[in-house]
Structure 1
């Protein structure tokens, strides 16, 4: 069954919302959450400030939208679904590293924004908690799959495996290697797979 075509008004509303979100994301990454004003977002998106509030709920609403954009990206569900069909632990870990890398390349600006702003703003902190719960749940699902196929060291619990996976594939792994060490994504991905494999197996 095909969906009925959207009206011109609906298409315009969707385009306006997208323009506002993209403008906010750009300006938040460039200037930070606090230095970016709704008026700046409006200028970048070529809309009135009132439209930013009406369409997205202002800066707080935009933060929630960006959290959902990142933490509910289709690639997450697709990855977990695919991993249910995999039976090779090494393949699963390579897949996790590749998807985590892809998420960093696509949404790293949002992650950095949330991590740097959360300590200073309760609304952003709430958004980060939601995103982290989703992220951690996905990591736990990987740990469970590894346990189901015998991909964990004897005696290792799911909770321990989740903690180890989070250490390597949570927020800090790629950011430390990329930002602090100046490694490439390819170097980082290879190293994280090797270290996680050694720690889990």
Structure 2
């Protein structure tokens, strides 16, 4: 798994051969197929590991205990940042490969549905607290969460704009607070780090 993750990230999914993974892992190519189902099996397992990270359920549990909407958004921002730092390489491989491979596309669609569904209990908690803007229904709030905390936000700010993960996290928190909350006071207001 570690060899596949490194090679997929460095070379891309299509340029990485099973023989390369086997050589890097110091096993026979037949072992890669037998243990993992080849490249597709490895990528699927890497994706499953990334999207079933226990931090998601832990965060949802913590959100249920919080009464401060700004603290909820801060926690979500920090969790998304942590996930991007920990498994952003896997997500980049999936996002780059999916348009060109039907099986990866289908697996990514499943992962995306799970990811988006994690925002529902968070949006519902904000709604229960009376913290959401009046013009937002639950489904709208989930869409706004996805806009700020889906795949693109942190990748764009960090990878393309060169922002630090910390700066991107705080900016996304602040802007998501403005978009979602009646009172958009954010604990990160004013922070700017490169």
TM (norm. structure 2) is: 0.91
Structure 2 counterparts to residues 145-184 of structure 1, below 5 A? 145-184=125-164
- 5+ residue gaps, structure 1: 1-20
Moved over 2 A (4+): none
> Structure 2 matches for 1:22-101, cutoff 5 A?
22-101=2-81
RMSD over equivalenced CA pairs, Å: 0.8
How many residue pairs match? The answer is 181
Partner of 2:95: 115
Please give the per-residue CA displacement for 1:130-151, whole angstroms capped at 9, x wherever unaligned: 1101110012221111111112
Residue 199 (structure 1) aligns with: 179
Shift in Å, 1:155: 3.7
Distance 1:88 1:126 in 2: 37
Give structure 2 stretches of 5+ with no counterpart.
182-194
Normalising to structure 1: TM-score of the pair? 0.88
User: How far has the Cα of 1:63 moved from its partner?
Assistant: 1.4
Cα distance in 2 for residues equivalent to 1:78 and 1:96: 11
Name which one, 1 or 2, has greater alpha-carbon Rg: 1
Distance across 2 between alignment mates of 1:130 and 1:107: 17
Distance 2:42 2:103 in 1: 11
Separation in 2, partners of 1:24, 1:140: 33
User: After superposition, what is the alpha-carbon deviation per residue over 1:14-45, rounded to whole angstroms, capped at 9, x for unaligned?
Assistant: xxxxxxx1110000000000010111100011
Map of 1:18 onto structure 2? none
Paired with 1:110 and 1:131, the residues of 2 have a C-alpha distance of: 12
